[in-house]
């Protein structure tokens, strides 16, 4: 179970969230969730930004999966005041490693643009989409505790979700 669509390779806001997911990867996997993250970037653009992630990353530069799952782009991705603090924090957190050459910088003109919205899907082994979250802004995605609670609820009562 599990799948999430993010924005673009090196997105500082996405990196914050993905680090929180990666830090609890064993716990997530232990709950029966197989995390798969989709970006609207090419595989070449993604590789330097995602090599250390402990889960699968899918390149979708043509946004085929985004269209199939109804994931949007909109100015509110960055204009919503609720995301501004996370943008600043993400940029500042990545700035040192980027300046030291430890991490590549994000593109100034990312494939697919900067206005992508995140979306999270909990997909059962039989292919049913059992839970969905379409983000209202760039940092609006399920926290790990919610992923775990949804997975637990699906295991306990698949008809409930």
Domain architecture of the chain: domains with CATH:
3-156 (3.40.30.10)
pLDDT at position 141 is 92
pLDDT at position 144 is 93
The answer to whether the beta carbons of residues 158 and 127 sit under 8 Å apart is no
Torsion sign over Cα 39, 13, 108, 96:
negative
pLDDT at position 160 is 57
pTM of the predicted structure, to 2 decimals: 0.80
pLDDT at position 9 is 66
In the structure encoding, which two tokens stand for residue 58, read together?
A: 């899918």
Phi-psi region of 158 (alpha: psi -120 to 50; beta: other; left: phi over 0): alpha
Residues lower than pLDDT 50 in the chain: none
pLDDT at position 87 is 86
Report the alpha-carbon distance of residue 22 to residue 19 in Å, rounded. 5
């Amino acid at each position: 179970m599990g799948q999430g669509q993010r924005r673009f390779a090196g997105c500082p806001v996405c990196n914050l969230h993905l680090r929180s997911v990666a830090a609890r990867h064993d716990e997530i996997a232990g709950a029966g969730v197989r995390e798969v993250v989709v970006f609207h970037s090419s595989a070449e653009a993604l590789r330097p930004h995602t090599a250390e992630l402990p889960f699968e990353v899918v390149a979708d530069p043509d946004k085929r999966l985004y269209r199939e799952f109804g994931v949007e782009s909109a100015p509110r991705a960055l204009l919503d005041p609720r995301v501004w603090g996370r943008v600043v924090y993400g940029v500042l957190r990545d700035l040192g490693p980027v300046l030291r050459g430890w991490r590549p910088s994000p593109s100034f003109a990312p494939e697919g643009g900067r206005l992508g919205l995140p979306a999270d899907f909990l997909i059962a082994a039989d292919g049913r989409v059992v839970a969905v979250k379409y983000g209202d802004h760039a940092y609006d995605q399920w926290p790990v505790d919610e992923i775990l609670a949804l997975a637990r609820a699906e295991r306990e009562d698949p008809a409930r979700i």
